[in-house]
């Protein structure tokens, strides 16, 4: 954009551009009343065809730019600015009844107040915006008195800063080391812990300036499973293990596809696993809001037919050590009770985990000792640090 502006600015000025103000990729432009907008747009779009410009002209002497509404006053030949909110704005902020630290709730109001003080160009527009902040706060159950207090404090600081000619500087006398400490949020207990710790630190460590901050607890949704669990044989990107039913010998392997595909390549009968699952939950009909046509519908989960490049070089059904073992010994593998030892969607880390498990447990049915060279742990890891593939 900077190169475009440097190259085309003289031509744009000749077409009627008076002012050009850009923020990242949004540009606010003043042009002469008799200038042709389409001519300016053609010059910009012709400069680099893949980059296309669009434009929006003022309507009723108003034009929105980012979060600012610019109002043109023709009588006074001036511009005024106020806050612009998109039509999709719902007015939703952190609710007053939310289980979060009080600082979070206060900052929801003070941040809107700060923005109003920076953007609103007249006291009339500022007063209108303050009323809008009060409406938003009321919509989210904030106490009116607290909102008025926060707005008043911010406005007083703004006025004092304007009236004072002295530049605002930080307190240079406080040379204490600042330490930030996170503590769990448990309503009044958190506030009491802050006070006691600060009081103790002021006596024992006068060289420290401890600043506490709290994060809200995890959302309630994190404690509930919102999706149907994926059955074990449908999982992908896993390290798995299979035991022999007759002698208990073990095999450890990995696959980036669904387990059912890899196990079938090892020799598992195609009837071992059911790939159809009911999509319905065990709920009463009164709890479900859906038509009778959908109530008894069965969801079929299809398996992928794509094969990663790491598994297409050999015919696994012919080279599988498990399949050869079954043919040579006549033993049966415990396919249904195979174990998913761990999951890893990163290809290299999946190979490392498989190699560590093979090196630690030395499964009898594996041909190789590792599938990748172990750089960090060339001698492997102890079994105590790894999951048990037999469980």
pLDDT tens digits along 24-78: 889 999 999 899 999 999 999 888 888 889 999 999 999 999 999 999 999 988 9
What pLDDT, in 10s, does the model give residues 100-145?
888 899 999 999 999 999 999 999 999 999 999 999 999 999 999 9
312 pLDDT tier (thresholds 50, 70, 90): very low
Lowest mean pLDDT among 85-99, 240-254, 372-386: 372-386
From first CA to last CA, the distance across the chain in angstroms is 60
Enumerate the H helices of the chain as residue ranges. 2-14, 37-47, 102-119, 123-139, 144-163, 188-204, 259-266, 292-295, 316-319, 321-329, 347-361
Is the pLDDT assigned to residue 2 strictly greater than 90?
no
Q: How far apart are CA 11 and CA 39, in angstroms?
A: 11
What pLDDT, in 10s, does the model give residues 259-301?
999 999 999 998 888 766 555 455 555 554 555 555 566 655 5
DSSP state of 195: H
321 pLDDT tier (thresholds 50, 70, 90): confident
Q: Quote the pLDDT of residue 115.
A: 95
Q: Quote the pLDDT of residue 378.
A: 85
Q: Quote the pLDDT of residue 150.
A: 96
The answer to whether 214 and 183 have CB atoms below 8 angstroms apart is yes
Question: 218-232 b/e with 16+ CB inside 10 Å = b?
Answer: eeeeeeeeeeeeeeb
Q: Which two tokens stand for residue 99?
A: 């289980």
What pLDDT, in 10s, does the model give residues 158-213?
999 888 866 555 555 678 888 898 888 888 888 898 889 888 888 888 888 888 88
Q: How far apart are CA 115 and CA 131, in angstroms?
A: 14
Q: Quote the pLDDT of residue 86.
A: 92
Please list the residues that pair with 64 across neighbouring strands: 69
Is the pLDDT assigned to residue 375 strictly greater than 90?
no
Q: Which two tokens stand for residue 91?
A: 């007015």
Please list the residues that pair with 81 across neighbouring strands: 70
Q: Quote the pLDDT of residue 292.
A: 58
Q: Quote the pLDDT of residue 173.
A: 65
Q: Quote the pLDDT of residue 289.
A: 54
Q: Quote the pLDDT of residue 78.
A: 93
pTM for the complete prediction? 0.58
What average pLDDT does range 314-333 have in this prediction?
Answer: 78
What average pLDDT does range 311-325 have in this prediction?
Answer: 65
314 pLDDT tier (thresholds 50, 70, 90): very low
Chain mean pLDDT for the chain: 85
Q: How far apart are CA 369 and CA 138, in angstroms?
A: 67
Helix, strand or coil, per DSSP, at residue 152: helix
Is the pLDDT assigned to residue 306 strictly greater than 50?
no
The answer to whether 360 and 383 have CB atoms below 8 angstroms apart is yes
Q: Quote the pLDDT of residue 295.
A: 58
Exposed / middle / buried, residue 375 (Cβ in 10 Å: 0-12, 13-18, 19+): exposed
Q: Which two tokens stand for residue 90?
A: 């719902």
């Amino acid at each position: 954009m900077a190169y475009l502006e440097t190259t085309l600015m003289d031509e744009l000025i000749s077409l009627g551009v008076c002012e050009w103000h850009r923020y990242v990729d949004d540009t606010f432009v003043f042009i002469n009343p008799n200038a042709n907008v389409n001519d300016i747009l053609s010059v910009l779009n012709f400069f680099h065809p893949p980059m296309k410009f669009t434009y929006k002209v003022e309507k009723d002497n108003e034009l929105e730019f980012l979060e600012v509404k610019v109002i043109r006053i023709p009588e006074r030949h001036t511009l005024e600015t106020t806050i612009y909110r998109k039509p999709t704005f719902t007015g939703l902020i952190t609710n007053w009844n939310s289980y979060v630290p009080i600082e979070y709730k206060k900052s929801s109001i003070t941040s809107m107040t700060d923005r109003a003080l920076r953007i609103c160009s007249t006291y009339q527009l500022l007063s209108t915006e303050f009323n809008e902040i009060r409406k938003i706060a009321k919509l989210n159950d904030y106490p009116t008195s607290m909102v008025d207090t926060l707005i008043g404090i911010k406005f007083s600081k703004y006025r004092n800063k304007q009236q004072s000619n002295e530049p605002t500087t930080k307190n240079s006398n406080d040379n204490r080391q600042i330490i930030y400490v996170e503590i769990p949020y448990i309503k009044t207990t958190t506030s009491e812990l802050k006070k006691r710790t600060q009081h103790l630190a002021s006596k024992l460590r006068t060289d420290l300036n401890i600043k506490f901050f709290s994060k809200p607890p995890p959302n309630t949704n994190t404690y509930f499973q919102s999706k149907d669990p994926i059955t074990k044989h449908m999982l992908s990107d896993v390290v798995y293990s299979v035991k022999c039913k007759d002698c208990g010998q073990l095999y450890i392997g990995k696959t980036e596809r669904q387990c059912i595909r890899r196990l079938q390549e090892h020799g598992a009968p195609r009837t071992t696993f059911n790939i159809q699952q009911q999509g319905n939950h065990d709920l009463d009909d009164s709890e479900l809001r859906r038509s009778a046509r959908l109530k008894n519908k069965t969801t079929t989960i299809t398996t992928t037919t794509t094969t990663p490049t790491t598994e297409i070089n050999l015919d696994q059904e012919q080279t599988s050590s498990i399949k050869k073992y079954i043919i040579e010994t006549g033993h049966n593998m415990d396919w249904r009770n195979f174990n998913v030892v761990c999951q890893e969607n990163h290809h290299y880390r999946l190979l490392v985990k498989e190699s560590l498990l093979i090196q630690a447990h030395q499964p009898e049915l594996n041909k190789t000792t590792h599938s990748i060279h172990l750089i960090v742990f060339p001698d492997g890891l102890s079994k105590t640090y790894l999951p048990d593939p037999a469980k």
